[in-house]
Copies of this chain bind each other. A is one copy, B any other.
Amino acid sequence: MTENRGQRTEDATALLAAIRFNTDGLIPAISQDANTGEVLMMAWMNRQAVEDTLRTGYAHYYSRSRQRQWKKGESSGHVQQVRSIHLDCDGDTLLLKIEQTGAACHTMRRSCFYRQWRNDGWQVTEEPLHAA
């Protein structure tokens, strides 16, 4: 157990070493449905959120408005189980392939990107999921 903990800490250090956080100590993280490829949302992570995501296997983010780190779905139950973590060439954007429980969006839609530009206006392309 102690060894596992040590290993995990070492892993997190290696993972974090390649990440270039911005001047606010944050990095954008895109979440993509691991099964369908649908892009679900983009949110920000601080160092702790990255560590907690790695440690628990569930996506954690940093809320800039609430100024705190949070587990996605901690109140709604709409958690994101992480299948894989990817980093871009500049080390300043993360891509998480995840299994989404329920809605990724706070509007109860599967994806936050439910508006599409259609010639002369933003059209809503996705309806909210029905409450269970």
Contact = CB atoms under 8 A, between A and B. Distances in A.
Contact of A42 (B30, B41, B109): B30
Contacts of A37: 36-38
Residue in A14, A84, A95, A114 with the greatest tally of chain B CB atoms within 10 Å: A95
Q: What is the copy number of this chain in the assembly?
A: 2
A18 interface: yes
Given A15-B122, A120-B11, A41 B88 contact: yes
A73 interface: no
A100 to B, nearest CB: 15
18 contacts: A11-B119, A15-B117, A18-B122, A28-B28, A37-B38, A39-B95, A42-B93, A54-B117, A85-B116, A86-B116, A86-B117, A87-B113, A88-B115, A89-B105, A89-B106, A89-B109, A89-B114, A90-B112
Nearest to A29: B42
Interface residues of A, number: 39
A98 to B, nearest CB: 12
Minimum-distance CB pairs A-B, first 9: A37-B37, A88-B112, A86-B113, A85-B117, A42-B93, A87-B115, A95-B113, A89-B112, A86-B116
